[in-house]
């Protein structure tokens, strides 16, 4: 029984310029203790998908058109608000890209750290503060006792990210959703934060959904990978399977455009064209206009994600038919 099972999630944004299909029918599962990477470029829908699961999509203009997200027997998309609130921040936690905008600049870090405990566990302030101090030390913040009463702006980017991780994990959630938590950090600080997430995951056994555009980060952290394009899942599978035998033209193109894999000086492969306008998606496969292998059938038929090898699925009609 997976920890989280998402089925046919569709989140559309209804704006004056049209209906923006940010997430357009994705299904995936996360097992206890595993790390799943969701990879995609800007506009792929990876963040909106997770915001939808967490109930953080403003509705309007957003609307969860269909789908379910079953966590511990409860459908997060349909349950009463009070039930969602009791799960959010307690059993499922989320960390974001920019800690400066996701930490409250007006509150001391101590206040923000103890808040989840006061709300979800009815803890006393004294007990909560003790847990907060322990948590700050666990995330590698030295002299936690001296710094716990500081404001967010008094910390550096890497330290703020550690504070956010401490806040997210203080209630010992079963699932952590990390939305590009290291994208805005220097590479040496990123290495520290990734090492921290790895260690905490080993110690607590929690599952992690890690959203990123960086294939290198996925390679070092995740057990499974989901690749998104234009609001849809185009490929999913075990880490090595997807990296070593990518079975969707978009995944293959993405790998080929990364400098580190190329011989120095050779011209980098580029994906022709531009990402699609999500309010004016063409019929058929969303990637077809930019795909070197697209046929007339690709432009007419909507592809579904199908298993093409054990624990490896692709939403490419031609791959499914064994043509490429």
Partner 1 sequence: MPDPILELKNLQTHFPVRRGFVVRHGAGTVKAVDGVSLAVQRGEVLGLVGESGCGKSTLARTILGLVPATAGVVVLEGRNLTAAGPAAWREARRGAQMVFQDPYASLNPRMTVFAALAEPMLVHRVCARAEVPGRVAGLMELVGLAPRFANKYPHEFSGGQRQRIAVARALALQPRLVLADEPVSALDVSVQAQILNLLARLVREMHLSLLFIAHDLSVVKHISDRVAVMYLGKIVELGRAVDVIERPRHPYTRALVSAIPTPDPDAERARQRIVLPGDPPSPLHPPAGCAFHPRCPFAQDKCRHSVPPLTALADGREAACVRIEEI
d(CA 116, CA 101): 18
Smallest distance from partner 1 to CB 158, Å: 5
Only segment of 95-103, 143-151, 254-262, 297-305 that touches partner 1 (CB under 8 A): 254-262
Residue 272 burial (10 A CB sphere; 0-12, 13-18, 19+): exposed
* Size of the residue set binding partner 1 (CB under 8 A): 44
| Distance between start and end Cα atoms, the chain | 34
* Binding region for partner 1 (CB under 8 A) out of 56-64, 84-92, 188-196, 303-311: 188-196
Residue with tokens 């978009």: 250
By CB under 8 A, name the one of 114, 239, 288, 294 that touches partner 1.
Answer: 239
> Which residue number, 70 or 217, has a Cβ lying nearer to partner 1?
217
C-beta of 244: minimal distance to partner 1 in Å?
8
The pattern of x and - marking residues 256 through 295 that bind partner 1 according to CB under 8 A reads -xxxxxx-xx-xxxxx--x---------------------
Q: Which of 170, 253, 288, 317 binds partner 1 (CB under 8 A)?
A: 253
User: Which ranges in the chain belong to alpha helices (H)?
Assistant: 46-54, 81-87, 99-102, 109-120, 125-138, 144-147, 157-169, 187-204, 215-221, 239-244, 249-256, 296-300, 317-320
Residue 232 C-beta: closest distance to partner 1, Å: 17
**Piece of the chain touching partner 1 by CB under 8 A; list 9-17, 92-100, 190-198, 306-314:** 190-198
Under the binding rule (CB under 8 A), the answer on residue 137 touching partner 1 is no
Q: How far apart are CA 30 and CA 44, in angstroms?
A: 20
Residue 156 binds partner 1 (CB under 8 A) = yes
Task: For residue 21, give the H/E element and its range.
Answer: strand 18-30
Helix (H, G, I), strand (E, B) or coil at 48: helix
Both structure tokens of 146: 């001296």
Minimum CB distance to partner 1 smaller for 48 or for 54: 48
| 195 makes contact with partner 1 (CB under 8 A) | yes
* Member of 192, 204, 279, 295 binding partner 1 (CB under 8 A): 192
Residues 15-51: b if buried by 16+ CB within 10 A, e if exposed: eeeebbbbbbbbbbbbeebbbbbbbbeebbbbbbbbb
Q: Which positions touch partner 1 (CB under 8 A)?
A: 41-42, 156-159, 186-192, 194-195, 213-220, 239-240, 243-244, 253-255, 257-262, 264-265, 267-271, 274
């Amino acid at each position: 029984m997976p920890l989280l099972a998402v089925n046919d999630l569709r989140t559309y944004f209804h704006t004056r310029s049209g209906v923006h299909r940010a997430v357009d029918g994705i299904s995936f599962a996360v097992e206890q203790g595993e790390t799943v990477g969701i990879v995609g470029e800007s506009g792929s829908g990876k963040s909106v998908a997770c915001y939808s699961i967490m109930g953080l999509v403003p509705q309007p203009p957003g609307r969860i058109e269909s789908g379910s997200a079953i966590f511990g027997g409860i459908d997060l998309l349909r349950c009463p608000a009070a039930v969602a609130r009791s799960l959010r921040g307690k059993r499922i936690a989320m960390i974001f890209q920019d800690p400066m905008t996701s930490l409250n600049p007006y509150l001391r870090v101590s206040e923000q750290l103890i808040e989840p405990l006061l709300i979800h566990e009815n803890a006393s302030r004294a007990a909560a503060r003790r847990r907060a101090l322990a948590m700050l030390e666990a995330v590698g913040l030295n002299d936690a006792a001296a710094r716990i009463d500081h404001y967010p702006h008094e910390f550096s980017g890497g330290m703020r990210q550690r504070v956010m991780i401490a806040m997210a994990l203080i209630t010992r959630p079963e699932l952590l959703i990390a939305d590009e938590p290291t994208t805005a950090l220097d590479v040496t600080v990123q290495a520290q934060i990734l090492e921290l997430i790895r260690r905490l995951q080993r110690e607590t056994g929690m599952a992690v959904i890690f959203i990123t555009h960086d294939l290198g980060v996925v390679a070092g952290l995740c057990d499974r990978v989901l690749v998104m394009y234009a609001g849809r899942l185009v490929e999913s599978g075990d880490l090595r399977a997807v990296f070593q035998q990518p079975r969707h033209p978009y995944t293959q193109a993405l790998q080929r455009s990364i400098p580190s894999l190329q011989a120095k000086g050779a011209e980098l492969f580029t994906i022709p064209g531009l990402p699609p306008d999500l309010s004016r998606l063409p019929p058929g496969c969303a990637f077809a206009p930019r795909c070197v292998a697209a046929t007339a059938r690709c432009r007419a038929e909507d592809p579904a994600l199908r298993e093409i090898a054990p624990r490896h699925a692709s939403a490419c009609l031609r791959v499914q038919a064994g043509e490429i």
